[in-house]
Every structure is written in C-alpha cells, then in structure tokens.
Structure 1
Amino acid sequence: MNQSDFLEVVLPFKDKVFRLAKRLLVSREEAEDATQELIFKLWKNKSKIGNYKNVEAFAMTMTKNYCYDRLKSKQASNLTLVHSNYKEKETSLDKKLEYQDSVNQVHQLIEKLPENQKIIIQLRDVEQYDFEEICKMVDMKPTAVRVALSRARKTIREELIKKHNYGVS
C-alpha cells in the first residue's frame, strides 16, 4: 500500500477520530496528538490494513483504547471529558447565548454519565455510527448498546427537564 492509497483509506474518517479523542480527552492538543498517534500506528501497519473489514471501526476502537490509556496514565491525571463540536447558524446574540447554555448543560450531563454511556452516546448521536459498528467498537452486544444509549438519553432528558422546570409548580 503506497502513501496515496493509505491517505484515501484514512482521510475520510480522520475527523471522526479527532472528535472521539476530543470527547474523551481534555484539550484540543491532546486530541490532535491522539489522532496523529493513531494515523502513525495505522501507517506503520499499513500492510495489514487490507485484512480489516472495516478500517474505520478498527481505527475508532484504537482511538478509544488509546484515549483510555492516556486517561489512566500518570501524565494525564488532569484530563477530563470535554466536547465542543457544536456549530450554529447565524442568530441573535440572545439566541446564541441560550443555545450555548443548552449545549453546555448537555455536555455537563454527558460528563456525569458512566464511561460506556459516554462513548456510546458520542458514537451514535454525534458521530452517527450505526449500532452494528458501535457494537464492534465497544465490544458489546446490540441489546446492551441500545440499553446503554437509551439510559444515557433518558438521564440527560430527565436532568434537562428538572433544570427547565425548576421553580415551576
């Protein structure tokens, strides 16, 4: 596999790898490092890439594992879950602030979810992977993935309803 073939395979999902790394690691720099490390590992093993049915799913699994390793390492003891992949249309300043506040609330609620639910909601609702791919990436059965996603969404929904109905009888 030459360089152009490699880039043709890897570049389409590079941004997804970055977003997952960004979801799991604290800073943009850490996510960029994780993305670069993943691409380097894939390049080192480019001769084996043809053996994988879904290189993208494999790369996402590698990214998840790399990020978990970084979070467990002593160097990364100050890393926390962060995500800022929200883009908005041109709107008034009031609406922008309101939207940003809502997005921040959702991010904070996602941070409080159990690890599996964080990963699954990122892969499904942000990256829009299908359930079969998510099952392979997180090494879970489809039913378990659906239950974890449902619980994550329900938790977020209930917490948002509590915040919005605060003080209302």
Structure 2
Amino acid sequence: MNQSDFLKTVLPFKDKVYRLAKRLLVSAEEAEDATQELYFKLWKNKSKLSDYKNVEAFAMTMTKNYCFDRLKSKQASNLTLVHSNYKEKDTPLEKQVEHKDSVNQVQRLIESLPEQQKIIIQLRDIEEYDFDEICKMVDMKPTAVRVALSRARKTIREALIKKHNYGVS
C-alpha cells in the first residue's frame, strides 16, 4: 500500500477517531496525541490493513483501546471539555447561553456514565455508527449494546427531567 492509497483509506474517518478520543480522554491535546499515535500505528502496519473488512471499525477499536491504556496509565490530566461542534448565527445572547448550558449539562451527564455506556452513546448518537459496527468495536452482542445504549439514554433523560422540574443539578 503506497502513501496515496493509505491516505484514501484512513483520512475519511480521522475526525471520528479524534472525537472518540476526545470523549474518552476529555482533553483536546490528549485526543490530538491519541489520533496522531493511532495514525502512526496504522502507517506502520499499512501492509496489513487490507486484511481487515472494515478499516474504520478497526481504527475505532484501536482508538478505544489506546485511550483506555492512557487512562489506566494515569498520564491523562483532567482538563475541561469544550463543545465546539456547532456555531449559531443571529441567536440572542440569552439563547446562546441556554444552549451552551444544555450542551454542557448533557456532556457532564455523558461523562458521568459508566465507561461502556459512555463509549456506546458516543459511537451511536454522536458518531452515528450502526449497531453491527458498534458490536465489533466494543466486542459485545447486539442485545447488550442496545441495552447499554438504552440505559445510558434513560440515565441522561431522567437527570435532565429532574433538573428541569426542580432546577437543581
């Protein structure tokens, strides 16, 4: 596999790798390092990439494993998570603050989920992978993935309802 073929194969999902790393490691710098490390490993093993049916799923699994290793090694530092997936135009400041607060609340709730649920909700609801791909990435049966996703969504929904009903976090 030459450099051009490699880039055609792996560049389309670079942003997804970064977002998963950022979700798990929280820090943008750590996520960038993880993405760079993953791409270096993929380049070193470029001759073996054709052995995989879905290189993207393989890369996401590698990312998840690398991030877990980083977290276990205690090298990751706690940095704040900043949401920058969208920018609003011509929205009153009050609404912008409300939206930002809601996004931050959901992010905090996702971060408080158990690791498995956090990964599954990231892959399904944010990265929009289908269930078969998620099952391969997390090495779980479809029923277990659906149950974990359902529980994660229910936890977030209940926390948001409680906050909006009582105004308390």
Tell me if the contact between 1:19 and 1:85 (Cα under 8 Å) persists in the aligned partners: no
CA displacement at 1:112 relative to structure 2: 1.1
Tell me if the contact between 2:27 and 2:80 (Cα under 8 Å) persists in the aligned partners: no
> Structure 1 regions of 5+ residues with no counterpart?
none
| Cα deviation code 1:112-168 (max 9, x no counterpart) | 11110000000000000000000000000000000000000011000000000006x
Tell me if the contact between 1:25 and 1:81 (Cα under 8 Å) persists in the aligned partners: no
| Cα deviation code 1:84-120 (max 9, x no counterpart) | 3531331111111000000011011111111100000
2:139 is the counterpart of 1:139: yes
Amino acid in structure 1 at the alignment position of 2:62: M
Percent of residue pairs bearing the same amino acid type: 78
CA displacement at 1:83 relative to structure 2: 6.1
**What is the number of residues matched between the two proteins?**
166
> Structure 2 regions of 5+ residues with no counterpart?
none
Tell me if the contact between 1:81 and 1:111 (Cα under 8 Å) persists in the aligned partners: no
CA displacement at 1:79 relative to structure 2: 3.8
Amino acid in structure 1 at the alignment position of 2:95: K
Distance 2:8 2:144 in 1: 34
Aligned match of 2:23: 23
**Residue aligned with 2:166, SS:** coil
Tell me if the contact between 1:82 and 1:111 (Cα under 8 Å) persists in the aligned partners: no
Aligned match of 1:86: 85
Aligned match of 1:122: 122
What TM-score results when the alignment is normalised by the length of structure 2?
Answer: 0.94
What TM-score results when the alignment is normalised by the length of structure 1?
Answer: 0.94
**Residue aligned with 2:87, SS:** coil
**Matched ranges for 1:53-132 at <5 A:** 53-76=53-76, 78-79=77-78, 82=81, 84-90=83-89, 91-132=91-132
Distance 1:84 1:58 in 2: 26
Tell me if the contact between 1:34 and 1:63 (Cα under 8 Å) persists in the aligned partners: yes
Distance 1:79 1:51 in 2: 37
Tell me if the contact between 2:27 and 2:81 (Cα under 8 Å) persists in the aligned partners: yes
Aligned match of 1:148: 148
Amino acid in structure 2 at the alignment position of 1:58: F
